[in-house]
Amino acid sequence: MTDHHTNRRRILLAVGVAAVAAVADTAMAQSTEIRGTVDFEGGAKIPQGEIEIYSEDSALPNETRHPTAQTQVKSDGGAKTIAFSFSPPASVGPLQIIARLEREDGWLLARGSAISKTGSPVSITLNTVMY
């Protein structure tokens, strides 16, 4: 009877270890980066300039939001879509991902944003800024 209980414990321990390993593999397989693409309104080529892409915690009031993580990518004026990725900050709420296209002289040309959903790529369309 002791052998039966010992074997049962070994089986339960093995199942538990396998379950923990499966969860760890799944967590490691999921990317911790925010990934996505930027395109331009109407499917046009993205104008030449620097695209600053950053996140803000959308759970915070607008007046207290500030960029929490960011990256920059260049547009040579020939691409219709540009990919990006960056590491997200620790956040309690969903993140708003904002993209700003500026000319070399700092003039804002276009802006767009999207809400990031965990594990899903973000798609941002830049819209021309009117002055």
Q: From CA 16, how far away is CA 125, in angstroms rounded?
A: 46
Flag residues of the chain having pLDDT under 70. Answer: 1-31, 58-68, 91-93, 131
pTM over 0.85, yes/no: no
Residues 119 and 116: their CA atoms lie apart, in Å, by 9
Give DSSP secondary structure letters for the chain.
-HHHHHHHHHHHHHHHHHHHHHHHHHHHHS--SEEEEEEEGGGPPPPSEEEEEEEEETTS-GGG----EEEEEEE-S--SEEEEEEPPPP-SSPEEEEEEEE-TTS-EEEEEEEEE-TTS-EEEEEEEPP-
pLDDT of residue 7: 62
Domain regions of the chain by residue span:
1-30, 34-128
Assess if CATH 2.60.40.2990 describes domain 34-128.
Answer: yes
Q: Which amino acid is at 19?
A: A
